Amino acid sequence: MGVKNAITIKEELCVGCGLCVADCPNSYLELDGGKAKPAGPSCIECGHCFAICPENAVIMNNYDTSDCEDAVPMTQIDSDVLLAAMKSRRTVRRFLDKEVEPEKIKKIIEAGRYCQTAGNGQTVEFTILGEKQKEIEKTCVSMFRFFFRVGSVFDASMRRRTIDDNFFFKGAPLVIIVSGKGDMNRGLASSYMELMAESLGLGVLISGFTEGCLLLNPFLRSKAGLKKGRKIYSVMVIGYPAVKYRRTVPRKPAKVSITGGKSKSF
């Protein structure tokens, strides 16, 4: 369902170039008398018209746009450096005893907030465990020690694994839970956030074990402050890494299927 009166066009600034009309993904805008105008209640508030207008004639009525900036194209980032950095990314499980600065946490959240979402749903939420982090980890550790005691009777690998008090968060100072509606939206947000964290000199562990505990224990979900009906996509354990990886690791070739042709590797 679209939003009514989501966009206002400043007629005195609109030059009727039609860029906003052509770029609107939901056919919300039209040219009328040489000016852009809303055509009906179908706006999804994606902001394409706001971003593309050369005269800054678009007002998004439901948003504070005071912090909007001039666009910075991704081409300003050297593609070879970016790819090399992405290939160098490692999951970190050893962290320094050092707090993550608030300004860096804000940048990580901003990266997740600005990722693309299907239909501009903007359904992703971010939960920082904060003062509850140690308590939640303690509960998770207790749960897993029980599961491993039972499982070790049947699985020798479980007998070799030690569940210490820092098994889940590895001594990291920051845990952010990414939740919401729509798997793609939550996944994109987590990826954006991880790249931002890495660029800030931080390491990231996506803790599937913690996600499992939260899924199994409704009381724990409530303690973490997760709303009912919100699906967890990732539990991001973040901190300054206590380890340095010196080279990329091998990967199998990418398998690419070409429609109407044979599969090939790149």
Q: Where are the beta strands (DSSP E) in the chain?
A: 7-9, 29-32, 35-38, 58-60, 125-128, 174-180, 203-206, 231-239, 255-256, 264-265
Q: Which of 81, 77, 59 is nearest to 68 (CA)?
A: 59
Please check whether residue 205 is in contact with residue 91, taking contact to mean a CB–CB distance below 8 angstroms. yes
Residue 261, pLDDT > 70, answer no
Phi, psi values for residue 223, rounded to 5°: -65, -35
Pairing of strands 203-206, 174-180: unpaired
On whether both 42 and 148 belong to a single domain, the answer is: no
Residues 42-66 have pLDDT tens digits of 899 999 999 999 999 999 999 999 9
- Is the entire prediction scored with pTM above 0.75? yes
DSSP sequence for 2-47:
-BTT-EEE-TTT-----HHHHH-TT--EEEETTEEEE-SS-B----
On whether both 120 and 87 belong to a single domain, the answer is: yes
3-state secondary structure of 155: coil
On whether both 170 and 229 belong to a single domain, the answer is: yes
On whether both 46 and 157 belong to a single domain, the answer is: no
On whether both 52 and 17 belong to a single domain, the answer is: yes
The letter for the amino acid at 208 is G
Q: How many helices (H) and strands (E) does the chain have?
A: 9, 10
| More confident call, 72 vs 150 | 72
- Average pLDDT, rounded, for the chain: 88
- Residue 68 belongs to a domain: no
Residues 191-242 have pLDDT tens digits of 999 999 999 999 999 999 999 999 888 889 898 888 877 788 899 999 999 9
pLDDT at 117: 78
Task: Measure the N-to-C terminal CA separation of the chain; round to a whole number of Å.
Answer: 42
What's the CA gap between 230 and 123, in Å, rounded? 9
Query: What is the domain count for the chain?
Result: 2
On whether both 139 and 203 belong to a single domain, the answer is: yes
Supply the range of the domain harboring residue 41. 7-60
- Residue 216 belongs to a domain: yes
On whether both 147 and 203 belong to a single domain, the answer is: yes
CATH no. for residue 166? 3.40.109.10
pLDDT band at 23 (very low <50, low <70, confident <90, very high): very high
Residues 71-116 have pLDDT tens digits of 999 899 999 999 999 999 999 999 999 999 999 999 999 999 988 8
On whether both 165 and 103 belong to a single domain, the answer is: yes
On whether both 111 and 223 belong to a single domain, the answer is: yes
pLDDT band at 120 (very low <50, low <70, confident <90, very high): confident
Pairing of strands 58-60, 7-9: antiparallel
- Residue 251 belongs to a domain: no
On whether both 37 and 84 belong to a single domain, the answer is: no
On whether both 44 and 108 belong to a single domain, the answer is: no
On whether both 193 and 123 belong to a single domain, the answer is: yes
